[in-house]
Structure formats: C-alpha cells, structure tokens
Amino acid sequence: SSIPCTAKAEYHCKAEFLYPPCERAAIDKSICRLGAPDAESVSIILDDFMVDTPEWMRRLREMTASESIYDVNELVGAISNADMQLDKLTAVAEYARVEDAKSITALANSLGLFTLIEGAEDNEDVGKHFVEHDPDYAAPETVVDFIDYDMLGEHIADELNGLFVSSGFVCMEPDYSISDVLDTNQGIRMGGM
C-alpha cells in the first residue's frame, strides 16, 4: 500500500499537481504544461503525507527544496514500499553519513545488507545480540556464562564495519562496504567525469 503523496509544482502563476512516486514522464509532462524550461525552474512543495513520521516528512521537504524532483520521486518510491523499515533506514543513513535523496534511495534499496541492533549502547550489547540472534555466533548454554561479550562485540564491530548511531548499532554483511552500496547507484552518474 503506497502512501498518497501530493506535490504542488509552481512556475510563474501556474500550478500542477504531481503524485510521487510516479513515472518520470509524468514529471516531464507537468513541467511542460507549466511552460517551464526545466525541472530546476519549478518550485515544488510536498504535502504532509508521512504524518506518522514527521522527521522523514521534514527531510523530504528539505530535499525537495534543494535537490532534483526526479531524485526525490525515486526516494518516495523506495520508502513507500510496504516493507520499508523507516527507523532502520534512519539509522543506516546516519551510519553512512548521507543526507541526499540519491544516496538514501541506494540505502533503502539495499537495506537487507545492514543490521540494526536497536538500543545497543556498547560492545557488550552487540556481542550479546549476535550470540542470541545470529546462528554463526550461537553458543551452547554451558558456554554462555564464560563469553566475553565486550571483546566479542568489539571483534564483530571490526569485522562488519560496525558503528554506534543515535538509535543503536549498525553493521553490514561481511565483505560489503558502504561504498559498494553507494557507488553502484552513482556509477552511472559519475561515468561521464
């Protein structure tokens, strides 16, 4: 179920409504009907469609003011996916230190590569989580009392590029780095440089 989103596009005294996520062609047509030379000349305002997540609404508004409507449209498509875990995406964007629509779309599309341990505050919390939830780190009952969770957590953070963020701890699947996720999506754009 996608969240109904309305964007008002204005140029001089004319206005058009857009309904992201939509086809790129729909955006092109609106710009054309407004008589604008390009998307950059049009002022676009999003309505409050993510009322339950004001933080994301604020972010999308800021992006719409400063970035391409095409990129914001892609991001709306990615986050209005029914399975999207916005709390996890927020943590992963903080982990990756990115704020632009293109990068956050790339993260949203690869969210499965990341693990968020909500509420984790230190290496010990991380070690405990992995022993309890990850079959690779499972330990028999008899051994659990002897595990140095702090040291284990530190090892995991090193191995999996882990970082603490404001909502907990984020790490990636083994053998992946944040640049793998961001570069795949930016390769096309940077090819011409």
pLDDT for 25-56, tens place per residue?
A: 999 999 999 999 999 999 999 987 877 888 99
- Count of beta carbons in the 10 Å neighbourhood of residue 2: 14
Backbone φ and ψ of 56, nearest 5°: -70, -35
pLDDT, tens digit, for every residue of 58-97? 999 999 999 999 999 999 999 987 788 999 999 999 999 9
**Helix, strand, coil percentages for the chain (3-state, nearest 5):** 55, 15, 35
DSSP SS3 for 132: helix
Query: Which of 40, 114, 110, 107 minimizes the C-alpha distance to 70?
Result: 40
pLDDT, tens digit, for every residue of 160-182? 999 999 999 999 999 899 999 99
DSSP SS3 for 11: strand
